[in-house]
Amino acid sequence: MSKEQRPGTVYWIDHYVVPVSDIARWSDFYTNALGAKPQVREARPDRPAGGGGGGGLLFTYVGECHVGGAKAEGLTPGTGSPRYSWFIRPEEVELHLRRLDAHQIAHSGAIRTSDEGEPGTAIRFADPDGNQLALWAPARLPDGAMANETTAKVGRIAGALLEARDLGKTADFYSTYCGVDPLPSGDVERDTVVFPLAAGGRLAFKKVDSLGNRTAGHAVYRALHQALVIRDEDFLPALEHMYRDLPEWDHDPSAIGTVSVDESASLPARTGIHGNPIGPEWKKAFGRGDSFYDWDENTFHFVNANPKQGSSMATYESVSQRTYVDQRLAARG
Ligand SMILES: [Fe+2]
């Protein structure tokens, strides 16, 4: 059976949310660095910031993907993780270096690497709040990587590098619940586990002894997560698989600071409510949350989607979760 046929397989990373201290500055940075187009300039009133601060969450669009900047008061320095990378073409590396220089964005220069199991060229940099980023030009771009590229010639999300304390547990978790298998350890940098996703890009985990604040999911900063694309027909079965195996976290995502970093770090892999407006409705309909946490507080939800053309998930159209909520409530009568 090919990876594409494994039920519940994750195909891409759809979006992510990072903590930011100044939303307008962050959004301008994404426009300059990646050619992003902000959806709206105003903070969203339905997503007030946690930590007692005002503000909210802004999404900006980069190619087919989007990124959220969640206003965070008292943001402490990051640890180098998470790091999110974006697809670029190998023949355009110089162009990207010149653009970053023109906007006075400090960067690593072009680094030839195969640390995460695939040869290519990376340019590493960080946003104004120290959230780590990279442009990634693999030797071979997957189909769909550059779909709807930005005016700066940046494609979709190429990967997330996250933290994990026990790589064995991590390998087991993603193989069980996300339908992906780790690359052989000899192919990747030491203390790293890498899961190539079925359509393109990868999830990678670096072994750490303790988790940084920006890894610690909803416990410290509001709304941080990654969203993973799965086929619409796999959406409910994948969640039900977790509902059978994993406990539910009765946590209100709007109540920040109720769990310390140390407390949250000792919690098991679990499901829980998602910090977006449909989260409470989903939980009401299904009795469980639509998000999940691995053993290291990395927080996710699925984006259920159908192929745009034929059966290939190279490009996809997401399906509203509301469809399922409505069906569920209608079935109950
Ligand atoms: Fe999301």
Domains of the chain and CATH, by start: 3-332 (3.10.180.10)
CB–CB of 331/316 below 8 Å?
Answer: no
Which residues on adjacent β-strands are paired with residue 104?
none
- Report the separation in Å between the CA atom of 67 and the middle of ligand 1, taken as the mean of its atom positions: 9
Q: How far is the CA of 264 from the centre of ligand 1 (A)?
A: 20
Q: What is the pLDDT along the chain (333 residues), one digit of tens a residue?
A: 444 457 889 999 999 999 999 999 999 999 999 999 997 654 444 444 433 333 588 999 998 999 999 999 888 888 788 999 999 999 999 999 999 999 999 999 999 999 899 999 999 999 999 999 999 999 999 999 999 999 999 999 999 999 999 999 999 999 999 999 999 988 888 899 999 999 999 999 999 998 888 876 656 788 889 999 999 999 999 999 999 999 999 877 777 666 777 888 889 999 998 767 788 899 999 999 999 999 999 999 999 999 999 999 999 999 999 999 999 999 887
Q: How many Å lie between the centroid of ligand 1 and the Cα of residue 110?
A: 31
Give me ligand 1 centre to Cα 148, in Å.
20
What's the CA-to-centroid distance between 91 and ligand 1, angstroms? 32
Tell me the C-alpha distance between 174 and 316, whole Å.
22
Can you give the pLDDT at residue 246?
98
Give 206 Cα–ligand 1 centroid separation in angstroms.
Answer: 23
Interstrand relation of 299-309 and 225-231 (parallel, antiparallel or unpaired): parallel
**pTM, 2 dp:** 0.92
Note the pLDDT of residue 3: 46
| pLDDT, position 36 | 97
What is the distance in A from the centroid of ligand 1 to the CA of 227? 5
Centre of ligand 1 to C-alpha 307, Å, is 19
- Distances from the Cα of 143 to the Cα of 18, 25, 113, 204, 310, angstroms: 27, 33, 21, 20, 14
CA of 304 to the centre of ligand 1 (A): 12
Distance from residue 156's CA to the centre of ligand 1 (Å): 16
Q: What separation in Å is there between the alpha carbon of 61 and the centre of ligand 1? A: 13
Backbone angles phi, psi at 301, to 5 degrees: -140, 160
| Ligand 1 center–CA 226 separation, angstroms | 6
First to last CA, the chain: 40
Per-residue model confidence (pLDDT) at position 56: 85
Q: Which residues surround ligand 1, an ion (CB under 5 A)?
A: 227
Ligand 1 midpoint to CA 112 (Å): 32
Q: How far is the CA of 66 from the centre of ligand 1 (A)?
A: 9
Distance between Cα 291 and ligand 1 center (Å): 9
SS (H, E, C) the chain: CCHHHCCCCCCEEEEEEEEECCHHHHHHHHHHHHCCEECCCCCCCCCCCCCCCCCCEEEEEECCEEEEEEECCCCCCCCCCCEEEEECCHHHHHHHHHHHHHCCCCEEEEEEECCCCCCEEEEEEECCCCCEEEEEEECCCCCCCCCCCCCCCCCCEEEEEEEECCHHHHHHHHHHHCCCCCCCHHHCCCCEEEEECCCCCEEEEEECCCCCCCCCHHHHCCCCEEEEEEEHHHHHHHHHHHHHHCCEECCCCCCCCCCCHHHHHCCCCEEECCCCCCHHHHHHHHCCCCEEECCCCCEEEEEEEEEEECCEEEEEEECCCHHHHHHHHHHHC
- CA–centroid distance, 14 to ligand 1, in Å, is 8
Of 76, 70, 81, 17, give the one whose Cα is nearest residue 47: 70
The Å distance, Cα 77 to ligand 1 centre, comes to 23
Separation of 2 CA from ligand 1 center, angstroms? Answer: 28
